[in-house]
Structure 1
Amino acid sequence: MGWLMWSCQLLCLQLVLLHSLSFALLVFSTSHEQSSALLHFKFKQLFSFVESGAYRSCDTQLHYPKMKYWKEDIDCCTREGVTCDMVTGHLIGLDLNCSWLYGRIPSNSSLFLLSHLKKLNLASNDFNLSEIPFNFVRFPSLIHLILSSSNFYCQVPFEITHLSKLISLDLAVNGLDEGVLTLKTPVMEGIVHNLTELEELVLDDVTMSTVGPGYLTNLSSSLTLLSISVCQSHGSFPENIFHFPNLRTLELSGNYLLTCSFPKVNWSSPLMYLDVSSTQFSGEMSDSIENLKSLEHLDIRSCMFIGSIPTSLVISHSCHI
């Protein structure tokens, strides 16, 4: 009996060791493949050493070509801008914000081999009026996609709406120096119907002139931030968005033909930042705005409101008007 128990324990130990070895080999193989993909992306992607408007939002100390300093002989997970899962070894984050990337990302770029990516930040680079690659759909686990101020052009691809796990999507354009990025109605419909986990949507300076504001009504109720300033949005902005239960930031400024009035009753929400400046918002300045106990910033310049701002907001030290 003792011999049988000893044999079972030995077999269990062998199985554990075999599993550990297999897992280690898998992690090593994964790491090697990821490292090769990153280095290939580095060697194929152009860099710009000419000042671009896309770099204006960059901190001077963080504005340099990160990939230029990637070395071949080190673990890819230790390279700047790279985040890996500590258990699986999968590369899950790539932050190349303000990294002097230049030119088009080709559809066969090795970047798209990083299939486990959860966060991708390519903000404040200069992709030289190229289109946003439709191959971002090859990142099925992506939860954060940040492409703001990167000089993309043409239309937002519908394929982005297939990234159903997205929590934040930032496509904001630097309107002073970049080309025109357009979001069409089918893409907005896809965002509404497919991105049900979305918490942050930033589309500043993206042309949305053909998208009726009514589509925004059905955005995820998880939304905490909605920013669509200077989008050529026009028509009636849906009042129900003011009642979204988690919305903290609402930025609508610069949409000169956008109309609406503030809710007159039962307006209580966690809004902290509200900017409707340079719109055609109008009507009585409702006392219900006093119910926004968390409000810290209110901008209603160049609107058509009548009446005065509630005294409680004017004298509040926590709310900037």
Structure 2
Amino acid sequence: MILVSGICQSDQQSLLLQMKNSLSYDSTSSVRLVQWNQSTDCCDMAGRVIGLDLSDESIYDGVDNSSCLFDLQHLRSLNLAFNSFNEAQIPSRLANLTNLTYLNLSNAGFEGQIPIEISSLTRLVTLDLSCYSWKAQLQLENPDLKVLVQNLSELRELYLDSVNISAHGNEWGQAFSSSLPNLQVLSLSYCYLSGPIHSSLADLQSLSVIRLDGNDLSSSVPEFLGYFPSLTILSLAHCGLFGKLSENIFKVSTLETLELSSNDLHHDSFPDFPQNNSLRTLMLHNTNLSGTLPHSIGNLKSLSKLDLGSCNFTGPLPTSMANLTQLEYLDLSANNFSGSIPSFNMSKSLNSLDLSHNVLTGGISSTDWEQLQDLSWVDLSFNF
């Protein structure tokens, strides 16, 4: 709950007490609910409840349409994430909370059809209905995705990970481009989407985060993904992508995370990385990029996680890798890298190093090992 200096109006205080008393929760795990009582101040300066954070409060048995929660009509922010609502449906009375700008029901144990009433929350800026549990799953069938978002023009962040959407590329692409002009975060991992990624998505020039992992996109990586001016995260792992990987992707100056693992991508000559690159995470595990690793890999001075395992790379490891001083995780396993191992003694935060299944020779000097105080996992097996 948001605690600020103010005196709750009597009706607001009464609704809060009734709501709390109707909830079932584990008092040994709860933090906020177990401490909340009649004297707790939970209102804004006007005496109204505008924010309610009940995330991770070990609430069980659900919140149904009879709850007094839905009479708190001044609410702007509601967070019920990470509870155990026992596969209950999302209450349709959410439609009463017309002032909501933030709604987070992620990993709360809801399942079944997402109610059409959410589409009436026209002030929403952030909507998170994602779920990472196999026990319960939400779906978008009637209403479908287009109907859900058609009135949500203020939306900036949309998280629907693991919601069963089952839509084709033109359907989900055009649903977003026609209704969500200001969208900045699009997270739709494991949503049973099919491809290809529709060109209409290029209209959403404010996008900074695109996560589509685990969908059957069955297409090449569109060129237009390299032209979003504010893109920081692009994650398309396990998507059935194929074909030549465009160099434009690696030249997006704002990009901090690039995840394309487990796709049938190739590139005859791995592209050069420009100076002042922002990449912090580069994951290309189990692709077919092949070729040699360019000396310009050393330009990725902000890189903390690098996974190029099983990529069919050959040739020596560039000595410029010594410039990767922020590395924490490095996996170059199952390639055909040859020659000696470059020094990583400046990568003082390195905790995982896998160079196994290559044709590397020599070893790492004792001086290098002494500098790597955080190293907890090392695999140099199957080398020379």
TM-score > 0.5 by shorter chain:
yes
Q: Could you say if the C-alpha distance between residues 124 and 216 of structure 1 is closer, same or farther in structure 2, counting changes exceeding 3 Å?
A: same
Q: Which runs of 5+ in 2 are unaligned?
A: 1-5, 275-296, 307-384
**1:151-196 superposed Cα distances (whole Å, 9 cap, x missing partner):** 11111111101101100000011234x3121122634112332000
Query: Tell me, what secondary structure is at the counterpart of 2:255?
Result: coil
Structure 2 distance, partners of 1:267, 1:37, is 49
Match of 1:102 among 25, 50, 60: 60
Structure 1 distance, partners of 2:226, 2:131, is 35
Tell me the CA shift for residue 266 of structure 1.
7.2
2:269 is the alignment partner of 1:311: no
Runs of 4+ in structure 1 over 6 Å off: none
Structure 1 distance, partners of 2:225, 2:119, is 35
Tell me the CA shift for residue 257 of structure 1.
4.5
2:184 is the alignment partner of 1:224: yes
Match of 1:33 among 5, 11, 15: 11
Amino acid at match of 1:47: Y
Q: Does the CA-based 8 Å contact 1:285-1:309 persist in structure 2? A: no
Q: Does the CA-based 8 Å contact 1:244-1:269 persist in structure 2? A: no
Match of 1:255 among 215, 223, 226: 215
Q: Could you say if the C-alpha distance between residues 69 and 106 of structure 1 is closer, same or farther in structure 2, counting changes exceeding 3 Å?
A: same
153-162 vs 181-190, greater mean Cα deviation: 181-190
- Correspondence for 1:66: 32
Structure 2 distance, partners of 1:160, 1:134, is 8
Amino acid at match of 2:168: G
Q: Does the CA-based 8 Å contact 2:145-2:165 persist in structure 1? A: no
2:173 is the alignment partner of 1:213: no
36-45 vs 183-192, greater mean Cα deviation: 183-192
What pairs up with 1:168-247 in 2 under 5 angstroms? 168-176=126-134, 178-184=135-141, 186-209=143-166, 211-214=167-170, 215-219=172-176, 220-242=180-202, 244-247=204-207
**More relative contact order in 1 or in 2 (CA 8 Å, sep 6+)?**
1
Amino acid at match of 2:122: S
Match of 1:164 among 122, 127, 132: 122
Q: How many residues align?
A: 272
Q: Could you say if the C-alpha distance between residues 304 and 132 of structure 1 is closer, same or farther in structure 2, counting changes exceeding 3 Å?
A: same
Query: Tell me, what secondary structure is at the counterpart of 1:186?
Result: coil
**1:105-144 superposed Cα distances (whole Å, 9 cap, x missing partner):** 1211111110010000000000000000011000011000
Q: Could you say if the C-alpha distance between residues 286 and 89 of structure 1 is closer, same or farther in structure 2, counting changes exceeding 3 Å?
A: same
Query: Tell me, what secondary structure is at the counterpart of 2:150?
Result: helix
Q: Percent identity?
A: 31
**1:62-89 superposed Cα distances (whole Å, 9 cap, x missing partner):** x6242122112x1542xxxxxx332x22
Query: Tell me, what secondary structure is at the counterpart of 1:312?
Result: coil
* CA RMSD, Structure 1 to Structure 2 (Å): 2.3
Q: Could you say if the C-alpha distance between residues 166 and 46 of structure 1 is closer, same or farther in structure 2, counting changes exceeding 3 Å?
A: same
- Correspondence for 1:302: 262
Q: Could you say if the C-alpha distance between residues 75 and 271 of structure 1 is closer, same or farther in structure 2, counting changes exceeding 3 Å?
A: same
2:138 is the alignment partner of 1:138: no
Structure 2 distance, partners of 1:232, 1:269, is 28
Q: Greater helix share, 1 or 2?
A: 1
Amino acid at match of 1:38: L
- Correspondence for 1:85: 44
2:132 is the alignment partner of 1:154: no
Q: Which runs of 5+ in 1 are unaligned?
A: 1-26, 51-62, 78-83
TM-score if structure 1 supplies the norm length? Answer: 0.78
Q: Does the CA-based 8 Å contact 1:127-1:151 persist in structure 2? A: yes
